[in-house]
């Protein structure tokens, strides 16, 4: 291919790129941020209400009420994912549903539902942790190193 043909193609590609950018819809950043903030806030408010419920109705101490609260939020997220509701909320709200623990539960439940036709062991079990596995490993390794640093700093200060 000659240099003039190559330059012609590059000029055409640049012109096409400019035309495509001109007709591409502009992202609504402010509206998307507001939706994410509101939905994330609603999820966190629900979590706080559940925590207060466990403290007042079931007698949990405030420092122990977080465990059943997180479990309930995960259960609700998986249930709503199975019914197809969580994904519709996620499409509308964006990152507001992905940041809390419910987004993590949604990603695991979605992967499990997507591969259930392949069987429970190889389909659900094998594919459910493709995304979650890396997050769990990273969290475990990070906690290990933070624990070592904490121990070393504790030995130094005493």
Which residue do the tokens 């094998």 mark? 126
Asked if pLDDT for residue 1 goes beyond 60, the answer is no
- pLDDT more than 70, % of the chain: 95
- Scanning 24-100, the segments in alpha helix (DSSP H) are 29-58, 66-82, 85-93, 95-98
Find the helix packing angle between 126-157 and 101-114, rounded to 10°: 150
How do residues 44-68 score in pLDDT, each as one tens digit?
A: 999 999 999 999 999 999 999 999 9
pLDDT in tens, 143-153: 999 999 999 98
pTM of the model: 0.68
Does pLDDT of 2 surpass 70? no
- Supply the angle between the helices 66-82 and 101-114 in degrees, to the nearest 10: 40
Q: Is 96:37 a contact under the CB 8 Å cutoff?
A: yes
CA dist 73 to 69, 89, 126, Å?
Answer: 6, 15, 24
- What's the distance, CA 99 to chain centroid? 5
The pair of three-digit structure tokens given for residue 15, joined into one six-digit string: 């012109």
- Residue 121 has what pLDDT? 72
Ramachandran region, residue 84 (left: φ > 0; alpha: ψ -120 to 50; beta: rest): left
Write down the pLDDT at residue 45.
Answer: 95
Q: In this prediction, what percent of the chain has a pLDDT beyond 90?
A: 43
What is the rounded distance in angstroms from the CA atom of residue 152 to the CA atom of residue 158?
10
DSSP 64: T
pLDDT band at 15 (very low <50, low <70, confident <90, very high): confident
d(CA 123, CA 69): 29
Please tell me the predicted confidence (pLDDT) of residue 110. 81
């Amino acid at each position: 291919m000659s240099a003039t043909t190559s330059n012609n193609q590059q000029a055409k590609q640049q012109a096409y790129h400019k035309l495509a950018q001109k007709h591409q819809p502009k992202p609504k950043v402010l509206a998307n941020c507001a939706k994410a903030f509101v939905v994330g806030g609603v999820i966190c408010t629900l979590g706080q209400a559940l925590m207060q419920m466990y403290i007042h109705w079931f007698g949990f101490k405030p420092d122990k009420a977080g465990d059943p609260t997180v479990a309930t939020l995960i259960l609700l997220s998986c249930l709503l994912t199975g019914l197809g509701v969580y994904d519709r909320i996620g499409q509308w709200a964006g990152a507001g549903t992905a940041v809390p623990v419910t987004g993590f539960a949604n990603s695991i439940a979605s992967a499990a539902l997507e591969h259930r036709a392949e069987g429970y062991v190889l389909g659900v079990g094998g594919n459910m942790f493709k995304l979650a596995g890396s997050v769990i490993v990273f969290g475990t390794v990070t906690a290990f190193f933070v624990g070592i640093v904490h121990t070393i700093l504790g030995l130094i200060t005493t």
